[in-house]
Structure 1
């Protein structure tokens, strides 16, 4: 789950697994796999960073950040 902010300033939590697309129109618009859209204050790059961190935290992208002694390439 990632925390985002609606344009009105209200924070909400979104399950990043359901994100299909993130675009700037110029506001950042997130489209979910079910077609629902959210417009948020965060930039596309911020959303990307949050999603990548989420996937790392649930061990979908490489090693978890709390694992020491190994890098992504296993060296």
Structure 2
């Protein structure tokens, strides 16, 4: 999620995974995967930087590990608790 500002000064948070593309004309337009367009006060460069930082933070999240016993019982990563390998 990235923090942005509408042209009227209202702050909001956008799911960066939904961004299709960003245009500068002269205001900054963000087109979402749904086709919806949002006009923001930030520059194109700022939106791209924040989206890239978000993707980098998301990639650094720890992965979930399933114990062998859980997978043999039909558990999925959504139902099994993460395993702490450092203990």
TM bucket (normalised to shorter chain) is: 0.7 to 0.9
Unmatched tracts of structure 2, length 5 or more: 61-87
> What is the aligned length?
60
**1:31 aligned counterpart, secondary structure:** strand
Counterparts of 2:48 and 2:31 in 1: how far apart (Å)? Answer: 13
Q: RMSD between aligned alpha carbons?
A: 0.6
Alignment of structure 1 residues 13-28 onto 2, 5 Å: 13-28=13-28
TM-score, length basis structure 1: 0.78
CA distance in 2 between counterparts of 1:11 and 1:5 reads 4
**Residue aligning to 2:49:** 49
Residue-by-residue CA offset, 1:22-74 (whole Å, 9 max, x unaligned):
00111000000000010000000000100000000000xxxx4xxxxxxxxxx
User: Comparing both structures, which one devotes a greater share of its residues to strand?
Assistant: 1
